[in-house]
Structure 1
Amino acid sequence: MNARLFFAVFLSAGLGTLVAQPFRVEPPNWWAGMQDTSLQLLIHGADAGALELSVSGTGVVLLGTHPADSPNYLFADLSIRPDATPGTVTLTFRRDGQPVAEQPYELRPRERPADQVEGFDASDVIYLITPDRFANGDPENDLVDTLRETALDRAAGFARHGGDLRGITDHLDYIDSMGFTAIWPSPVLENNMPAWSYHGYAITDYYAVDPRFGTLADYRELADAARTRGIKLIMDQVVNHSGSGHWWMDDLPFDNWLNYQDDPKMTNHRRSIHQDPYAARVDAERMTGGWFVSTMPDLNQRNPFLARYLIQNSLWWIETLGLGGVRQDTYPYPDADFLTGWTCRIMQEYPNFSIVGEEWSYNPATVAYWQRGKENPDGYVSCLPSVMDFPLQAALMSAFKEQEGWDSGLIKLYEALSNDYQYAEPRDLMVFAENHDMDRLATQLAGRVDHVRMALTYLLTVRGIPQLYYGSEVLLDNDEAPGDHGVIRSDMPGGWGGDRVNAFTGAGLSPDQVAVQGHLRRLLQWRKDHPVIATGRTLHYAPEDGTYVYGRYDENERVMVVLNKNDAPVTLDPERYRELIAGATTATPIDGPAQNIAAGLTVPASSGAVFVLR
């Protein structure tokens, strides 16, 4: 039986004739022992709204039902009391007091206590993956005739290439050997769209894995296999919009299920309206209510039934997969009050969990607004632990692109970090140089391998939670088409049988690719053994003469990082950095002999050096 579609048995009055009638019930199952005892079922089927419902099951109580504007929906409020026992709950439907259908509903035992569901933090390094472009583990699922888009063309950036969940699972050993401790695949839920379905952000069924990526069992296997290696699985979720091919688009529950439901309008992308004290109401409504693109209808989270649906969906996936975190797409686009309810409900259920929101703004005040603990002038309260640090990303790229001046552009990094006073918890920010929506790191840095290495060194030693994009370790670029998302999300070499170059085994890699991959592997493994990078304090010095020096320190260890953009080696006078060096006498780089601090610290040309001070 399809896990998302139960079959009610209709009983003809007095005849006992069995007639199969499908009802869609979402969530498709739930759990006993959740912190919040309430559960709301969405029931969809012919004339479901005209039926009476009763529920039988130990500890499960029906509190009430609600019809929708469409006659084919019924929303049922249940209470799953603390004494509820796992097992089958029976949903009985009646018309005019006579039973016409019975449908089973599964209440499962929780696999792990909520306080054992742990999220990611600054001790982790996240590997972002576009699944369709990473590795094809099961060629049998490349084409699915029942879906709208059936073309497969690795030469076309917009088409599906065949990567899947099995491909990620098959390469967990590589991810682990590199030193990554968390993976963030872009969405793998069903995207039954006529084109551009590979990216996953136009969801057409919130409870179904896209069959071209695999099955729910494959998703679960990935989560379990990653967990056994100490790798956390982060789910990329989308509560702002669905895909225009979503199953409910043919029969929307309410007249306000979508924003601009009868007359679609596109968002104005004016994300600052949330903080702007002078923002016009019409601009605010267009920002949060406008459709992201014409194929992504904007969900109206002010509808309480939709809000509950989205919150429960997130909880369902966390519980089903044992997730190690959630990344929320287009964070400032949904209703702000809904976002508070969504984040707070998740963090209430899983106190040690992690959620990161995408606020693509280069103004740190705008980004800081959304983080948990921030005291905002308008009183807005959030439960969001982490925000993506786009301001630091922009500063990092500017720092390497600018060459002129006494600081060679490094002042951008210094000043960006000095804005940390605006954040409630800088250590919980996600730091990155690129993602699936940006030009590749190698392209942004004009192919300068030395600058790529320095940027990676910076990301893995600065405060925050580092996120890297698959293929950066082997210098994937999109030089042929800057800004083209399909090329940015190019195939990982070696992910397909017959690939001449294989990033996983090293076959066919150029010397530069081997060097950068090795550099990153050493940094990642080194970082695991030096918790000061994750939890220590930061001290930095204003850039001088093309060098930028900062340190991470606590009572147990001190680490000094030097970014040298000069074309020649530099030797640093230790006296200027005495506050960081303190009583240390030697500085040991990650790979190389220890240096006597009193003689000055030498850093090679155009490089990032990481020293452990002792």
Structure 2
Amino acid sequence: MRKPMIAAAAALALSGCATVSPAPQTAAASPWTPQSKVTIRHPEWSRKAVIYQINTRQFTPAGTFRAAQAQLPRLKALGVDILWLMPIHPIGKENRKGTLGSPYSVQDYYAVNPEFGTEADFRAFVDAAHAQGFKVILDLVANHTAWDNDLAKQHPDWYEKTWDGRFRPTPWWDWSDIIDLDWSEPGVREHVGKAMEYWVREFRVDGYRADVAGYVPLDFWETMRGRLEAIRPVFMLGEVQQSAWAFAAFDATYAWDWHNTSKNVAQGKGNATSFYGYYAENESLWPHDTMRMTYIENHDSNAWEGTLKENYGPALEVMTALSFTGQGIPLVHNGMEACNAKRLEFFERDPIDWRQAQGCTYGDLIARLIAFRKANRALDNGGWGAVMHKVESDRPEQLLAWVRERDGNKVLGLFNMSARPVTATLADGLPAGRYTEMRGGEAVFDKGSTVDLPAWGFALYSRQTPQT
């Protein structure tokens, strides 16, 4: 392959034509140099953010935007940053489930559910939240609508059909109160896309949580990310667990595998090594700056899987500590901080009993974990934070141990993932150093150090190295 190139160069020289030597090829220009697929610029305010989910119907006894607004100072004291409101739109009546129906059965993408108040009430909530330093994201249901959404009458061709030509709920699930949109129809994209722009432009919401995001074409989300960014910086959380959605569409996606693993281990169906598969995939498969939502509870898990006590029992605190300090963006579901012990009704009014907060130390733990997280830059979200490096020990089935280190900040996490006390010897020098524990006290670690933790116990240590 080289001889013709030499011959051609010789011919040019013999003809008297000037020759130009090719510029040396840089690494960036090489076809073998990987080019980043990540095009998202995460808003700076998401760097240390913790998400708080509000089910407006159940959040307060009144179940309104005005009542929720009155709780903003309490949420500020808790330390959360991004307020995720479950769907705020009118709910369909045709084939409705229960008395009030599911918020995910949307009758009109451009209106507010009168159950919660008026548009003015919603605007006041958003404005008050912004004034107190919060960001507000709305739950967007793009996959389907209510049966009596006007689109079904005006544009029946915008919907998927059964084999005999009837409207169709999402297949295989028992979502009989909704019908699926047909995303091959351009009109669907335009209608839903313009609705997304409307709430961002007119009400200054800060992004969306996208319901069943994986059931909607990825290119729609990527397109909308650009269109929304042209209005204002947004944060997008997708209910999906495929890495492709994290490159150009969503800042954060669900970590169902983490949630399920934590429940299994808490219920004796696994041990500390059960987390290895999740964290290996997280580091090797996903973009390094993505944020995967590691959650203990959300509306679905509370309603259909069980309460905090049912799912986690005595392992609740250690799993919560891991969710707030391991890689990922944490979520607080409304009521968690009050030790809510009830499966909230999904289709009825069932307000959280906030009296449960009396004597509930779990809420104090959440606040302390948030403060610890924000005080340690190694625990920042996405690419701002540090990867987790496993610390080896002689009790790997009981002790999950890791170090995260970034810009002079080093955090050591120790988690006993068992119902038995553990005494373990650290087998490497990765955690070497003098630390301060989150709850007070100091400790020095090195290779061969011994750690003692009670059943389902944890310890979080941090150190700051002055930067020169």
TM-aligned CA deviation for residue 302 of structure 1: 2.4
The answer on whether the counterparts of 1:234 and 1:325 sit within 8 Å (CA) in structure 2 is: yes
Are 1:390 and 2:256 matched, yes or no?
yes
TM-score (norm 2): 0.79
Instruction: Give the counterpart of 1:578 among 386, 405, 429.
Output: 429
Distance 1:550 1:119 in 2: 27
Per the alignment, residue 189 of structure 2 pairs with 307
**Which residue of the partner structure matches residue 322 of structure 1?**
204
Equivalent residue letter for 1:607? G
Residues 1:223 and 2:126 are matched in the alignment:
yes
1:385-424 matches, within 5 Å, as 385-402=251-268, 409-420=271-282, 421-424=284-287
Residue in structure 2 matching 1:469, options 333, 354, 369: 333
Give the aligned partner of residue 174 of structure 1: 74
> Whose strand proportion is higher, 1 or 2?
1
Pick closer, same or farther for the CA change 1:116–1:128 going to 2, 3 Å. Answer: same
Indicate if the aligned counterparts of 1:117 and 1:322 stay in contact, CA closer than 8 A.
no
- Of 346, 352, 358, the match for 1:492: 352
Q: Which residue of 2 aligns with 1:126?
A: 51
Q: Aligned partners of 2:47, 2:295: CA distance in 1, in Å?
A: 13
Q: Say if 1:561 and 1:609, in contact at 8 Å, map to a contact too.
A: yes
- Kept in 2, the 8 Å contact 1:127–1:468? The answer is yes
The residue correspondences of 1:469-548 to structure 2 (distance < 5 A) are 469-478=333-342, 485=346, 490-494=350-354, 501=355, 503=357, 509=358, 511=359, 514-534=360-380, 535-541=385-391, 544-548=396-400
Partners of 1:132 and 1:199 within 8 A in 2 = no
Q: 1:392 to 1:529 in 2, by over 3 A?
A: same
Asked if residue 595 in structure 1 is aligned to residue 443 in structure 2, the reply is yes
Q: Which amino acid aligns with 2:340?
A: L
Q: Residues of 2 paired with 1:117 and 1:229: CA distance?
A: 21
What root-mean-square deviation, in Å, do the aligned CA atoms of Structure 1 and Structure 2 show?
Answer: 3.0
Q: Which amino acid aligns with 1:390?
A: W
Separation of aligned partners in 1, 2:41 and 2:205 = 11
Number of the residue aligned with 1:206 = 109
* Residue 419 (structure 1) shift: 0.7
Partner residue, 1:550:
402
- Does residue 612 in structure 1 map to residue 462 in structure 2? yes
**Distance in 1 separating the partners of 2:302 and 2:272:** 21
**What 5-or-longer segments of structure 1 have no aligned partner?**
1-114, 138-162, 270-290, 362-366, 373-381, 495-500, 504-508
Q: What is the CA distance between 1:384 and its match in structure 2?
A: 2.9
Secondary structure at the aligned position of 2:415 is classed as strand
2:416, 2:458 within 8 Å by CA — same for their partners in 1?
A: yes
Q: Specify the alignment match of 2:301 in structure 1.
A: 438
CA shift digits 1:458-492 (9 cap, x unpaired): 1110111111211122322347x9xx7459x9522
Residue 210 of structure 2 aligns with an amino acid whose one-letter code is Q
Once structures 1 and 2 are overlaid, which stretch shifts more, 589-598 or 514-523?
Answer: 589-598
Shift of the 247–469 alpha-carbon distance from structure 1 to 2, 3 Å rule, reads same
Distance 1:206 1:448, change over 3 A: closer
Structure 1: how far apart are the matches of 2:41 and 2:64?
Answer: 29
**More displaced stretch, 174-183 vs 301-310:** 301-310
Could you say which residue in structure 2 is the equivalent of 1:252?
A: 154
Structure 1 residue 126 displacement after superposition: 0.7
Question: How far has the Cα of 1:571 moved from its partner?
Answer: 4.7
Answer whether contact 1:120 1:325 (CA < 8 A) is retained: no
Report the alpha carbon displacement of residue 577 of structure 1 after superposing the two structures with TM. 4.2
From the superposition, tell whether residues 607 and 117 of structure 1 become closer, same or farther in structure 2 (CA, over 3 Å).
closer
SS at 2:110 equivalent: strand
3-state SS of paired residue (1:537): coil
User: Over residues 501-542 of structure 1, what are the superposed CA-to-partner deviations in whole Å (9 max), with x where a residue is unaligned?
Assistant: 263xxxxx3x4xx22111111111222222221112321235
Aligned in 2, Cα 1:446/1:242: closer, same or farther, shift over 3 Å? closer
Q: Aligned pair count? A: 410
Equivalents in 2 of 1:531, 1:177: separation in Å? 20
For 1:129-187, what per-residue CA distance to the aligned partner results, in whole angstroms no more than 9, with x for missing partners?
A: 211011034xxxxxxxxxxxxxxxxxxxxxxxxx1211211111111111111111110
Q: Could you tell me how far apart the structure 2 residues matched to 1:587 and 1:434 are?
A: 31
Q: Which amino acid aligns with 1:523?
A: L
1:199 and 1:385 mapped to 2: Cα distance? Answer: 26
Task: Say which SS state the counterpart of residue 205 (structure 1) adopts.
Answer: coil
Whether the 8 Å CA contact 2:402–2:413 is kept in 1: the answer is: yes
Q: Which runs of 4+ in 1 moved over 6 A?
A: none
CA distance in structure 1 between the aligned counterparts of 2:273 and 2:311, rounded to whole angstroms = 22
SS in 1 for 2:370: helix
Q: Is the contact between residue 136 and residue 166 of structure 1 (CA under 8 Å) also seen in structure 2?
A: no
After superposition, residues 368-383 of structure 1 pair within 5 angstroms as 368-372=243-247, 382-383=248-249
The one-letter code matched in structure 1 to 2:253 is V
The one-letter code matched in structure 2 to 1:562 is L
Cα offsets for 1:419-462 (capped at 9, x unmatched):
12111236422221221111478736537553111111011101
What does residue range 233-382 of structure 1 map to in structure 2 within 5 Å? 233-249=136-152, 251-253=153-155, 255-260=156-161, 262-268=165-171, 293-347=175-229, 349-350=231-232, 352-359=233-240, 367-372=242-247, 382=248
1:301 offset after TM fit, Å? 2.8
201-210 vs 302-311, which moves further: 302-311
Q: Does the 8 A contact of 1:192 with 1:246 survive in 2?
A: yes
Letter of the 2:238 partner, please give it: G
Identify unmatched segments of 5+ residues in structure 2: 1-39
Identical positions, percent: 20
What is the CA deviation profile of residues 268-316 of structure 1, one whole-angstrom value per residue up to 9, with x for unaligned ones?
35xxxxxxxxxxxxxxxxxxxxx97333122223222231121111011
Q: After alignment, is 189-198 or 456-465 more displaced? A: 189-198
TM-score (norm 1): 0.61
State the AA in 1 paired with 2:274.
K
Residues of 2 paired with 1:434 and 1:447: CA distance? 9
Counterpart amino acid of 1:203?
Answer: V
CA distance in 2, matches of 1:384, 1:447: 28
